[in-house]
Amino acid sequence: MCAGGRARSSWSDGRQTFAVRCLTQGNLQRSDTPLGAQARGLCSGAREIWASDEVAGVMNSGGARQMHYPIAPLLHRCNGIPSLGPRRARLICIFAEAPKRFLLKAKRLVANDEFKMRSTSYWLETARIRSFPALNRDISVDVLVIGGGITGISTAYLLKQSGLTVALIERTRLTTIDTGHTTAHLTYVTDTRLHTLAKNLGVDHAGAAWDAGAATLDEIEALVQAEKIDCEFTRLPAYLHVPLGRAKSGETAKLKEDADLAQKMGFDAAYLNSIPHFGVPGIRFANQAKFHPRKYLGGLIETVPGNGSHVFEKTAARELFRQSATPVAQDFA
């Protein structure tokens, strides 16, 4: 192991290979010290790892799954070697059933909010959108669009395509709030269940709400093709199913009701006694989609500036004058 660097150790239980990588933020004990030499020997046995107090661990099981846990709270005394004090090296003991024990303890720590898991959005990490300047002068356009998420950028794009000049303003950075943390599932299946919509709004209005979602899916697909945007857009089925491990009374009957309603409205829906992977009752909705939202919007936003249209970041809408309907925007500090 290298002082202050990275350490990796792995072992096999005959069925799966496990590995633990410690990314140290503090200095490890020098390898030429008695404790450092002992740590080096333990690591070669692939059962114990020498690390500092500030540690992040990644455990791979068969190379199939990654779980990202800060494991500093798991450091403890072991094999008679005492703690070396705050921000000093300690010993992490990994025994034969380490993966199981590690995950069980990690789950308890998460449940008790004893440490915070890494929560950076995948979409933010894997697609960059170029920055735009803040508004610093008076301009005149046909339409002002406030908000740089998927709704605002799509609106600005469509308005410009229709021949209008547009200014899109975002108070922070484009696509970093809700759109930057979405599930990226594209579906016309609403959070409010179909039978509830039909009861509250009537069958025609409930169907219209789902039709609007289906039209949006088609529009996104058309824009991806028209602008040749590489955003991983893929058509696939979606499933609505009973809660795993805690099926509610009457939930299956409601699913069947939703499936029947959807079919009568012309949607491609089918009730299944057992959906793939989970094996519980649910509805299969064909022809839904998924995509990378920031790659998609990064492609759209490039078409907005120019020919009298503008995009501004770090610019907040401060006031809207009702008489003239003229908004005032300001630099967002």
**For residue 21, what are the domain limits?**
6-111
The reported pLDDT for the residue numbered 306 is 95
Instruction: Report the chain's terminal Cα–Cα distance, integer Å.
Output: 46
Q: What domain count does the chain have? A: 3
Encoded tokens for 99: 């993966």
If asked whether residues 269 and 321 sit together in one domain, one would say no
Asked if the structure places residue 116 within a domain, the reply is no
Count of residues in the chain: 333
Same domain, 267 and 198: yes
End residue of a domain, out of 111, 141, 160: 111
Q: Are the C-beta atoms of residues 239 and 214 closer than 8 Å to each other?
A: no
Rounded to 5 degrees, what are φ and ψ at 17? -105, 130
In a domain, 233, yes or no: yes
My answer on whether 49 and 24 are in the same domain is: yes
pLDDT at 29: 35
Residue 325 confidence (pLDDT)? 55
pLDDT single digits (tens) 110-131: 666 555 666 788 888 888 899 9
> What is the residue-averaged pLDDT of the chain?
74
The candidate with the shortest Cα–Cα distance to 122, out of 329, 314, 293, 306, is 293
* 296 found inside a domain: no
The list of the chain residues with pLDDT below 50 reads: 1-97, 332-333
Q: Does 1 map to a domain?
A: no
In a domain, 299, yes or no: no
Rounded Cα distance, 269 and 272, in Å = 10
Same domain, 24 and 98: yes
**Predicted pLDDT of residue 25:** 35
Does residue 274 sit in the same domain as residue 232? yes
pLDDT at residue number 113: 58
Handedness of CA 83, 88, 94, 99 (dihedral sign): positive
In this structure, what token pair is assigned to residue 66?
Answer: 């990654």
pLDDT in tens, 29-86: 333 334 343 433 333 333 333 333 333 333 333 333 333 334 333 333 334 444 444 3
